[in-house]
Chains A and B, each alone.
Chain A
């Protein structure tokens, strides 16, 4: 079955630390890749997406992600986190030709001042 794996369920960082959240998917064909973020008490919103082209994509609030096809990975990065980045982050995949999103289990990030 198609699946999305997020390696870290909980991450705790201090402000200014660097962040990398892992995401791997199991589908072998063409995929669209997404990172969504859910801030406390808010709705899920799109952070960034990859459809094609440059495998390094930039999103809102200084986040970026790199698509590595050979590793079936789409890791999320931020060089220096802020307290306001405290949220839950979800990686999601749409296999080519489908209109369904397959989500990972999510990673809860807590950033301490």
Chain B
């Protein structure tokens, strides 16, 4: 079974803090994704990466950056957290050629106070 692990289930941070959300997958997938999930809006893509050190902006990249130094790890960075970044963050991965079947982590619920 594919396992996508997000380092924290719940995080509480203060406005202006730098926040790191970590995601690790154990199936050697090339593609990794970060989404945020908000009620009534579904999942919206923040960034994705198709290889080490490669990244592409998704639909809502403002206020976020990412890092992929190793194939199995994809980090989402909030440079200066704001209250409107309070949300559920989901990481996913997929194998190239798998018709984009994505496997998701359990999510990190971030509250910015």
Interface residues of A (CB under 8 A from B): 4, 6, 9, 32, 34, 36, 42-46, 49, 51, 90, 92, 94, 98-101, 103-106
Report, as a range, how many residues of chain B touch the other chain: 20 to 34
* SS class, residues of chain B in contact with chain A: strand
Question: Which residues of the partner chain A approach B101 to less than 8 Å between Cβ atoms?
Answer: 34, 46, 49
What's the Cα separation between A13 and B1 when bound, in Å?
Answer: 32
Given A99-B31, A105-B40: A44 touches B45 (CB 8 Å cut-off): no
A104–B42 CA distance with the chains assembled, in angstroms: 6
Q: How far is the CA of A9 from the CA of B38 in the complex (A)?
A: 13
Beyond A90-B43, A99-B100, A106-B42, 12 extra complex contacts between A and B, CB < 8 Å: A43-B4, A43-B90, A49-B101, A92-B43, A94-B99, A99-B31, A99-B48, A100-B48, A101-B100, A103-B42, A103-B43, A103-B44
Q: How far is the CB of A109 from chain B (nearest CB, A)?
A: 15
- Is B106 in contact with chain A by the CB < 8 A criterion? yes
In the complex, are the beta carbons of B102 and A101 less than 8 A apart?
Answer: yes
Q: Does B50 contact A (CB under 8 A)?
A: yes
CB of A22 to closest CB in B, whole Å: 14
Q: How far is the CA of A103 from the CA of B37 in the complex (A)?
A: 10
Cβ-closest chain B residue relative to A9: B40
